[in-house]
Chains A and B, each alone.
Chain A
Amino acid sequence: MGQSPSGKGDLRGAAERLERGIERYGEGDLAGALIEFEAALQLYPSSARGKQFAAWVKDVQAGRKSISGGRRADALDEDALRAVDEALEDPPSKPPSGSFPPAIAPPERTRKGTPLPPTLEPPPPYEGKPPSPSYEGKPPSSDRQRRLTPPTRAETAPTMAQLASQPATPPRVTRDAADHHESPWDPVPLTPGGQHEVRRADVLAELQSSATKAAPPPPKLPPEGSSATILGMPPLEPKLLTPQRKRKVQEDRPESVTREFRSATPTGPNLRPLDVPELTEEQIQGLLSLDSPLLPEGRTTPQIELDRIDELNDSQEQRLIELEAMPTPLPHRAPEGLNHSRKNDTNPMGVSSFAGESGGEFEPQQLTPTGVKASGLKAVREPSPEDDPYADLNLLPLEVAPDLAGADENEEGGTNPTNPFIRGAKLAAYTSYGTGGEPKLEDMPPLPKQPTGTHKLAHPLATAEAALQAGDVNAAVDACERALAQSGGLAGNVARDHLPLVEQIYGAILIAADRVPRHGHATADLEPRSAFLLSRIDGSMTVEDVLDVSGMPRLEALRTMALLARRGAIVIT
């Protein structure tokens, strides 16, 4: 499998892949999107967003994930979960059986989109400070490594106190302890249960918090064995999840009534990338009152159309309303204007604050599905880049890539890093904590330094080099040939500027300079110069000797020998 060069990664390549994955995702091609995200991870394994996006897609493919047995304080009850499920149509995906050692990643499986089986236990909570933003060239910090290291079965689930104290990174949610397994390729999930779980949890949390200003009571743990207890939140009244106006997720298999997707079945083109809970009219209007760029006038995407709620009616095709999700692990913030004192989906108990009787783990303005304490919350963009977990990947597109975007997308000024399909210029409203008011663009992570409309790799031989590093010599030579062909051949600037690498690529086929080449099988269609080079081989001269007597420039001789070896005209002994 291709690996990024040790110690470094191809950031630009990873960014390109991420963008492409977003594009695929927007087209509803989950499998293709996953391939792109994982390709980005291959180019830059440390990419938190790559992992995030890949997990997002996997979760969408696999359906809901639930945390095992009652260790989470913020689990939804079973009814709430069922109601959400009913809104979806695809059947749940059956996780593959079997397991593999936690330390060894099966990248092949993930690449094909096969969801990983659920773990037995959730991963340990994220501890310590976020990793250093500048990863390149530095060994990863212990914290960062901790985040990237797959959890083992031996790791225990966090306690309530740990959960309360941990930063926004939610622990992994699993569905079934028996057949879920971690692998190092599983990124830390954005939220428990995946994106749709985040969405549901967020909405529920927000709605709940809007219903009441008091701190919510301590979360009631769901009964043992309940698959519904995923977020540790108190059970919701079923009616709160009953939509006033039914909205269906438009899919290519209308007969499907659940929201869980078969992992092996690629989703249809009309698949909505997000699941959202069914909302009441009141909730919808509340959302609409937000300055949400999600529903711009007249803006549509090929597959996802974000319409205003008031334009919808029963006779019209149902559309999915996207909500802005909070960036993870950034703390979540309730949308402005929500009445936290009201009972709603996010605050089914109608408490005004969750920091109630028990001293509360939640504060009204900082409701998160994970119940992170305010003190544990950190600003999205602190002055110190050290706290920015994504600062090392500065090229994440805050602006939609030009080939994806329309004019209004550029106006909006960015995508949500956690959900690339949320286009929101007002991202900062949900990401800048402690500042209030209008978010500042300078708080946003820096834009990638790429020319508009072009996506050029910094290193023209990057693909070849990566293939060489991965041990795929033939692919490296093919990539090198392409690069040279595009740059004027052996006399071009690529060959001139990267001569040692080019020689290394061709030399890799010849194994070593002291090897003795011999004639292989006869070949047709030889150039006279190639034939001359073949004639210099007498079974006693080494590769280096043949290059010395080739009568042509060394690079040309090296390339000719390498290509002859590939054709079998030369055998290296």
Chain B
Amino acid sequence: MSERVIGIDLGTTNSCVAIVENGTPVVIPNRGGYKTTPSMVAIAENGKRLVGHIAKRQAITNAEHTVYAAKRLIGRKWNSPPVRQAMESVGYQISEGPHDDVRIVLRNQTYSIPEISAYVLQEMKLIAEEHLGGTVDKAVVTVPAYFNDGQRQATKDAGRIAGLDVIRIINEPTAAALAYGFGKNIERKVAVFDLGGGTFDISILEIGNGVFEVISTAGDTFLGGEDFDKRIIDWLVFGFAKEHKIDLRRDKMALQRLKDVAEKAKCELSSAKEAEINLPFIISQGGEALHLQRTLTRDKLEELTADLIERCVNICRKTLAEADIEKAGIEDVILVGGMTRMPKIQQSVAQFFGMEPCKGVHPDEVVALGASIQGSALTETDSEMLLLDVTPHSLGIMIVGGYFHRLIIQNTTVPTQASHIFTTVKDNQTSVKILVLQGESDRAEENELLGEFILTGLRRAPKSEVEVEVTFEISADGIVSVSAKDMETGLKQAITVTATSGLTEDEIRRMVEESKDYLLDQKASEEFEKYKQNAEKLIDEIESLFPRVEAAIAGSDFGQDAVKKARSVIDRARQGIQGRDQQAVGDSNEALTRTLNMFKGVVAKTRVG
């Protein structure tokens, strides 16, 4: 029997975990029964770490110490535009890390982005382990198709910190198409329209003969369901301010309630024509409590979010154009993400692609299901399925004039290899500097530098006489290797571009240990609480019987001894509780139970006597 591998959709706003059981992929619900878990981490005032639903419930009242949408920051450089944009919109503190990476400060503690994502992955791991009744060590984690190597490596590091061996990172549209195509012998060109809580992605896939090829992918990392929520909140706030001259956004508690009710109303309007929004005692003014009560119709919601829907459509249009694909060539449109439940979204997609989108898959769960299928395929030796992935960005080097020369074009299926011969640009040039870049811009400076190296020992010759062959190789795991060879001498120089998340190996190792310790502490704390509650209950019962027992038996030496011992047991238990000594409390529970039984016996006897 193969080892169990879970598939995790690590989303921007919500995450989901699934596994293949008896050949069928199933989503694993969390303790609250929900199939998705908010990708939020908070540190409470008492230092407690909150993850998931509970973190979401206080995201606004504790905004400075609640992290959301960490996926927008993972693997990015400190001075990258997305980080700047995120800093302007989030409530928590973002700071620069020691390796030009991004860190977050919560309650005077600094956390790396992979660490934050690790807490979410750890939560998903625990959900799976609770469901399966055993440990889970391996996982396939999905990422957006446009994630670069640094972002993918950071996601893998997050998995490692969470105690998971991430055996594969796959693209989300690929995972969705995998779940959609699983069990179906189809050859199709499909568009995956993924509108989640925080991001929008559109991918074009070609499925055939068990091969899933991503032809094109694009999106907007700051466009998602939360933007729709914000429109509703603004509408409610403005209406209330018009009536009462109070800006509810200034009150965190009011804003939290608004956020929760706006999301709920949005979801309701996917199936109902109107939603009643009722927030009693939302705020007080002059000692009088005010209430917010409004009705939001579907039409009004569509009016409020029309531009957001238009943005999605525009991105789709651009992606098709870049892939040089006609809309008529798309045979199916797959909807992924909770926001695709909105009727207007479905209508707009249908209108754009000229066909009704496929609704046969659960939009919240499909990516996790696809990841679990991939995980099962990787561990099963007899799997006939081959999943080809593509490189999301072009790879190349800088050439004279500061231009970017592509060697591997974007969306090239991996693994792949490409070579090109270059010459010197100066007379008597004896060395060349190879700058490995990733991106789509023709200007080298606008692309991301993955690495560089120097090839020396070239013979002195006039320019253009010496030839250097540069080879790019991308493995199935996305590791890029670049080599340069002097065609005359055969001298070769090579580098392996290992994506970095911004964390060193030592840091990752430390975080892995801390994560393990945290889990152990959690378990111990839960057990201690159980012991403590039992002990306190026993103590209460014993003390309620004490006077009667004391009156009944304290006249004898035996009775006094028993009373003395009973007090001693209670004192010991209390000391254990106060000192949070689980062992002592656990031992005391037994003694307390015996004492209580003895007391009950005495009382029963005196009643009869």
Contacts and interface: CB of A to CB of B under 8 A. Distances in A.
Interface of A: 3, 6-7, 45, 101, 103-105, 139-140, 142, 145-146, 149-150, 184, 469, 471, 512-514, 525-532, 535-536, 538, 540-541, 545, 548-551, 553-554
A532 B282 CA distance: 8
Contact of B57 (A184, A512, A528, A549): A549
Given A139-B563, A549-B57, A101 B555 contact: no
A41 to B, nearest CB: 12
Interface stretch (B71-79, B321-329, B513-521, B540-548): B540-548
A104 B257 CA distance: 56
Contact of A528 (B50, B281, B548, B609): B281
B434 to A, nearest CB: 53
A431 B51 CA distance: 74
B509 interface: no
A551 B61 contact: yes
B560 interface: yes
B227 to A, nearest CB: 23
Contacts of A140: 554, 560
Given A541-B57, A549-B57, A551-B253, A526 B280 contact: yes
A184 B284 contact: no
B18 to A, nearest CB: 22
B529 interface: yes
Contacts of A553: 45
15 contacts: A7-B567, A101-B606, A105-B551, A139-B564, A139-B567, A513-B533, A514-B529, A530-B281, A532-B254, A535-B257, A535-B260, A541-B57, A548-B46, A549-B54, A549-B62
Contacts of B31: 540
A84 B557 CA distance: 44
Contacts of A541: 53-54, 57
B175 to A, nearest CB: 29
A310 B373 CA distance: 114
A512 B533 contact: yes
A184 B567 CA distance: 22
B253 A554 contact: no
Given A104-B606, A514-B529, A551-B61, 15 more contacts: A6-B546, A101-B609, A103-B606, A104-B607, A471-B540, A513-B529, A527-B281, A528-B289, A531-B281, A541-B53, A548-B48, A549-B50, A549-B58, A549-B61, A551-B62
B252 interface: yes
Nearest to A525: B289
Contact of B254 (A142, A528, A540): A528
Contacts of A538: 57
Contact of B252 (A513, A514, A540, A551): A551
B555 A145 contact: yes
Contacts of A101: 606-607, 609
Name the interface size band of chain B.
35 or more
Contacts of B282: 528, 531
A554 B46 contact: yes
Nearest to A513: B529
A528 B58 contact: no
B543 A469 contact: yes
A554 B47 CA distance: 12
Interface string B541-575: 00110111001101101001001100100100000
A570 to B, nearest CB: 15
B606 A528 contact: no
Contact of A145 (B48, B54, B554, B606): B554
Contacts of B254: 528, 532
Contact of B554 (A149, A469, A532): A149
B281 A540 contact: no
B105 interface: no
A181 B53 CA distance: 64
A528 B284 contact: yes
Interface of B: 31-33, 44-46, 48, 50, 53-54, 57-58, 61-62, 251-254, 256-257, 260, 280-284, 289, 529, 533, 540, 543-544, 546-548, 551-552, 554-555, 557, 560, 563-564, 567, 570, 606-607, 609
Given A541-B57, A551-B62, A528 B546 contact: no
Contacts of B606: 101, 103-104
Contacts of B50: 548-549
Contact of A548 (B33, B58, B284): B58
A153 to B, nearest CB: 11
A183 to B, nearest CB: 10
B253 A529 contact: yes
Nearest to B557: A142
A540 B32 contact: yes
A6 B567 contact: yes
A551 B54 CA distance: 12
A554 B45 contact: yes
Contacts of B283: 528
Contacts of B570: 6
5 tightest A-B contacts by CB?
A551-B61, A531-B281, A549-B58, A149-B555, A532-B253
Contacts of A545: 54, 57
Contacts of A6: 543, 546-547, 567, 570
A464 to B, nearest CB: 16
Given A7-B567, A531-B280, A549-B54, A184 B609 contact: no
A105 B554 CA distance: 14
Contacts of B544: 471
Contacts of B567: 6-7, 139
Most buried by A among B46, B50, B551, B609: B551
Nearest to B555: A149
Given A7-B567, A103-B606, A548-B58, A527 B284 contact: yes
Contacts of B281: 526-528, 530-531
A537 B50 CA distance: 16
Contacts of A514: 529, 533
A21 to B, nearest CB: 21
Contacts of B529: 513-514
A128 B192 CA distance: 95
Contacts of B252: 551
A145 B540 CA distance: 24
B552 A103 contact: yes
Contacts of A529: 253
Nearest to A537: B57
Nearest to A545: B54
A466 to B, nearest CB: 12
Contacts of B557: 142
A245 to B, nearest CB: 48
Contacts of B253: 528-529, 532, 551
B180 to A, nearest CB: 32
A551 B32 CA distance: 21
